[in-house]
Structure 1
Amino acid sequence: MKKRNIIKRAAVACLLSAIGMNMSSCIEQTFPKNSTATAEQIAESPAAMNAMLNAVVGFVNAYNTYGQGYTWDLGYTSYGIIREVMCEDFYIYKSGYDYYNSFGLCRSLADNAEVNSIYYYYYKFLNNVNNLIRIVDLENTTETNRQYVGIAKVYRAMIYMDMARLFEYKKTGIAKLDDEAASNNVYGLTVPIIDENITEADARNNPRVPFYTIYRYILDDLENAETLLADYSRPTKNMPDLTIISALKARFWLELGTRFEKYPNDLTTLNQNVDLGITSDKDCYIKAADCAKQAIAKSGATPLSELEWYGGKDYFTAFNSIQTSAWMWGGIMNKENIHSVWLNLAGHLCTEQTFGVGGISYGAHRTISKALFDQIPDDDWRKVTWIAPEDAGKAPGTQYHTLLSDANFMKLPAYVHLKFKPKEGNMIDSNVGAPIDNLLMRVEEMYFIEAEAIAASQGVSAGVSALENFMKTYRYDSYKCTASTMEDFRKELILQKRIEFWGEGIIYWDYKRLELSVTRGYPGTNCPVGYRMNSLEGYCAPWFNLFFSKFESITNQAIILNPDPSAVVDDWTE
């Protein structure tokens, strides 16, 4: 048996109490008070190990991880909102209540608490994962503990996939930034790897690893998890299983396929350093399509119907419940996760509620961009997710699916959404309406990944057929895709993803992966003044390249920071 680290009960309890997990009581029930528990003793305690697992799974819902009570520090989905405001379709109606404005305004993106908290959230999440993995000796443990490690490795793969994409610097077309990135040799670098065996000395001299190193690390975790979870049947959808591993692999291979399609030299570099079993971008796309197809089949999930999209007859479950058929993975929230009447995810995100700034009491509603709304045909039933300009100020009639009274609905401005609804349709009691579940993945994403990957590996016409099949079956039967080139097909597919996943934090990954421009300023825009930055065509938006955290540069002498993207693009004016 390998030599195991000794872990103090108080230290473990302190770690978990930081995110609201009371593991200390579990350990005190198992071990004498004031004693020291070894790793082996903790691993042999079902109660202690279950607490370790909950510390991982529950971190999706973690509040105040940065320790300052910031209004955006509300868990995984809250950081998805940050990704949304970085793009071009997710605006706020009253900017005075915009608590995600650093990335919306793009003016303070370096030494900023909102920026620092992203890095801190992910590495604190990672710490919980590594603590669980570290404590289990896979060669001498129970099948349950092996499965716990498998679950932890799925989360670790997700964490590193997110972080690699968030922090890797991509060209912006702005010489000041791109030249600095070249001078500092940051191209191709992702994030430092912190595994379960790292020492404090190593952590203080831990450089950002190249893209090929992080890719190998992510794939290793997913493949190890696949072995460990081979016989696992998850009790609830907040636990990842083989379905989620296939889905994460689909995301992974799509990301790699695009990279090597755009930059063939990166594939050469990868194959000179690691072996992922690929020789072309087409290999990656084939794997992406296959994994997406597997995820769809394994999940048993079905895309949201029109009735489910709006939450059913009483609008109780619209984008707020893990029980919805299309949700593959998420975080389960309850009233204990809610920390104030207005400081909660639903308070920011839901229009039809009275307890938060995003609702009818404060009016800081989230709106869709005019440019995107104008491209949604009337045949598409998703269109009434947002209020058309000609219907603003009028009663909803039978067209709009809303919890609001006619009088309150008439107060809503044009383009405001009705997509995310409070839990159980409760607009007033935050204990009931606020704990909306955190959405990590729904099955529709797999259909879009499959369609794009098929187009890239089998030809555009095959991709068109896959996209049309999804849209006609699950969205509206008059849909037609006329694309004949890969470029036009991707434009259409991304248009549909912008509509489908509006507000869910998904589309950022596509914009950065494909290096799509962000356009907020144009004649007739409904984007608030001050937020109307346009990035350059054919390049990554500057603010998509996260700066890192200055705290990391103080504690880790090997870190190289990205260029500061603050205020490098002027606000568009007519």
Structure 2
Amino acid sequence: MNRKYIIALFFPALLSFIGCEDNLDTKPDGDIVTSEQKEEVVANDPKKAEASVNAVFAQFSQYMPNYDAFGDVERHNDFGYPSIMLFTDANGYDVISDDNGYNWTGNSLEFSDRVYTSYESQMVWNDMYAIIRATNNVIGAISSDTEDATSKFYLAQGLATRAFSYWVLAQLYQFNYVGNETEPCVPIITPENIDIAAIDGVRRSTVKEVYDLINSDLNTAIGLLEDAESEGVTRADKRYISLAVAYGLRARVNLTMQKWSEAAQDAQSAIDHSEATPASIDDVSKPAFWSADESNWMWGIIIAETDRVVTSGIVNWISHMGSLNYGYAWYSKGKQINKILYESINSSDIRKGWWLDENSTSANLTDEAQAVIDKYSFAPYTQVKFAPYKEEVATSTNANDIPLMRIEEMYLILAEAQAMSGGDGATTLENFIKEYRDPDYVCEASSPEEIQKEVFRHRRIELWGEGLNWFDVMRLKTGVDRRGAGYPNATMVFNIAPDDPILLWRIPEAEIQANPGLTDGDNNPATPLPTPVEE
């Protein structure tokens, strides 16, 4: 499928630091360093451990990290984890876009990204395992019984981020945890098996085995962060994982595993330990969500103006997502919300203005911002949720930070988990929405299942475009029903059953060929593309 390349307004001025190799695993002469020696290196030169941790988070946003793997092919949707956010949102039924020459998510709209030779298939696999590799460098370099508070903090970063990475992979390559515990998931790579894996390969672990590792990593990370923070070691900025974020990650995992009481407890712990506060109605009465400095962000990808994804002008997340900044969205016609979902939002809910109305206007926009919308003829229901960098309308500096976790999500997890464990989730949900989004809101749901459905509706609205919806689609078994959603291409209107294997990603052919522990028979099944249906 051909894609048009738009030309940036400026030439790249600076190649940014992409990542770094761990330098704690070998001596200069190549001998392997023992755990004790590594711990001594960390104690004597903490900068080396810090560099390894920074390398983990550098993996989250990179400029065309798969260029070499693709055989020197440029893909303008190749920029690390935010690429996966775009793919999975396009797979669903809430982030709608026109499949045209400037839209780089066309393969995900039609599910041809599931072909195991597709660029997207390789990006998802390579990007997630690149993060895992970086986390293993950190984990393998610090003794698990360290008494040093700074080392505990660094080790927790590696463990918690590895858990996040496997949680993402688990929901892309297999169906939900409950009922699929013994089904094949993804290969587990750790410092303990990496040498054997390099020679003999590694098989797909079961869903249970992957979640056992996820929970072990998060449990350990939480203990380490409790110790580190009690001794005054805290994160420098929101790219790092705090104790509150670690609780938030475990809340997500427990929600996925349907461990409702545990999910509620962790969501409450995340709220209690976090310095973040929900954005007020005034805060979100205009385009926002562009900076990790915003009070409601718990964790995010921090982007600098000098990063290569920024100096490229267009090879970045907000180029594809943003309606109010220069980038692909100006020419691809942008991203729209599901029409049915939009119509379900109360007129008194400030979030209604996060998207254009049926007349392509929004009360949340200034005259200057509305002029940009008019100039590029954006369709009704196009997003204006995400502000341009520094709130400068029509800017060509696409240096927006990217949210990975906001405190609002924790309140929604709390409400759902309380309801499903016999608590008063309806009151939690109603109080939250009334105070922070819609003063006229009344939660009319009463049964646990009705409350869960209502929370899901609010998750779809609140977290729209933030790369989280697909995980709800999989865990709640909603399937992908696009009928009536407003898709501009009839060929993209599907009604996919929740157990259809097309929902699962396939392990890339390149990995099957390179990994002696895998064969074609070990992969998820090849499945015909979904058949369009009538609106």
The Cα shift of 1:69 comes to 3.4
Would the aligned equivalents of 1:253 and 1:287 in 2 still touch at CA under 8 Å? yes
Superimposed CA distance per residue, residues 301-360 of structure 1 (whole angstroms, 9 cap, x where no aligned partner)? 21112232245xxx5xx1110011110011211022224122121111110012x1113x
Would the aligned equivalents of 1:132 and 1:152 in 2 still touch at CA under 8 Å? yes
The Cα shift of 1:154 comes to 0.8
1:104-503 alignment runs, 5 A limit: 104-110=109-115, 111-139=117-145, 142-169=148-175, 188-203=183-198, 204-229=200-225, 230-232=227-229, 233-257=234-258, 284-310=259-285, 318-337=288-307, 338-354=310-326, 356-359=327-330, 362-389=331-358, 391-392=359-360, 399-402=363-366, 404=368, 406-410=370-374, 411-430=377-396, 433-459=397-423, 462-503=424-465
- Which residue in 2 is equivalent to 1:176? none
Distance in 2 (CA, whole Å) between partners of 1:504 and 1:59 is 18
- Which residue in 2 is equivalent to 1:517? 479
Would the aligned equivalents of 1:170 and 1:187 in 2 still touch at CA under 8 Å? no
The Cα shift of 1:565 comes to 3.4
- Which residue in 2 is equivalent to 1:21? 19
Distance in 2 (CA, whole Å) between partners of 1:508 and 1:193 is 22
The answer as to 2:103 corresponding to 1:98 is yes
Would the aligned equivalents of 2:507 and 2:524 in 1 still touch at CA under 8 Å? yes
Distance in 1 (CA, whole Å) between partners of 2:122 and 2:21 is 27
Distance in 2 (CA, whole Å) between partners of 1:145 and 1:381 is 44
Distance in 2 (CA, whole Å) between partners of 1:541 and 1:434 is 37
Distance in 1 (CA, whole Å) between partners of 2:52 and 2:192 is 17
Distance in 1 (CA, whole Å) between partners of 2:429 and 2:100 is 37
User: CA 1:72–1:406 in 2, change beyond 3 Å: closer, same or farther?
Assistant: closer
The Cα shift of 1:515 comes to 0.6
Distance in 1 (CA, whole Å) between partners of 2:394 and 2:495 is 38
The Cα shift of 1:400 comes to 3.0
Distance in 1 (CA, whole Å) between partners of 2:246 and 2:181 is 30
Superimposed CA distance per residue, residues 491-515 of structure 1 (whole angstroms, 9 cap, x where no aligned partner)? 2221111111110111111110011
User: CA 1:310–1:333 in 2, change beyond 3 Å: closer, same or farther?
Assistant: farther
Name which of structure 1's ranges 438-447 and 104-113 shifts more when overlaid on structure 2.
Answer: 104-113
- Which residue in 2 is equivalent to 1:45? 45
Distance in 2 (CA, whole Å) between partners of 1:572 and 1:514 is 23
The Cα shift of 1:138 comes to 4.1
User: CA 1:321–1:406 in 2, change beyond 3 Å: closer, same or farther?
Assistant: closer
The letter for the 2-side match of 1:456 is M
Distance in 1 (CA, whole Å) between partners of 2:16 and 2:291 is 26
The alignment-based identity, stated in percent, is 27
The 3-state SS of whatever aligns with 2:299 is: strand
The Cα shift of 1:194 comes to 0.2
With structure 2 as the length reference, what TM-score do the two structures score? Answer: 0.85
The letter for the 1-side match of 2:139 is I
Distance in 2 (CA, whole Å) between partners of 1:206 and 1:62 is 27
Would the aligned equivalents of 1:167 and 1:545 in 2 still touch at CA under 8 Å? yes
The Cα shift of 1:254 comes to 1.1
The Cα shift of 1:488 comes to 2.3
Distance in 1 (CA, whole Å) between partners of 2:65 and 2:52 is 17
- Which residue in 2 is equivalent to 1:278? none
User: CA 1:36–1:510 in 2, change beyond 3 Å: closer, same or farther?
Assistant: same
Distance in 2 (CA, whole Å) between partners of 1:515 and 1:53 is 36
User: CA 1:236–1:18 in 2, change beyond 3 Å: closer, same or farther?
Assistant: closer
The letter for the 1-side match of 2:183 is G
CA root-mean-square deviation = 2.7
User: CA 1:377–1:327 in 2, change beyond 3 Å: closer, same or farther?
Assistant: same
Distance in 1 (CA, whole Å) between partners of 2:481 and 2:222 is 41
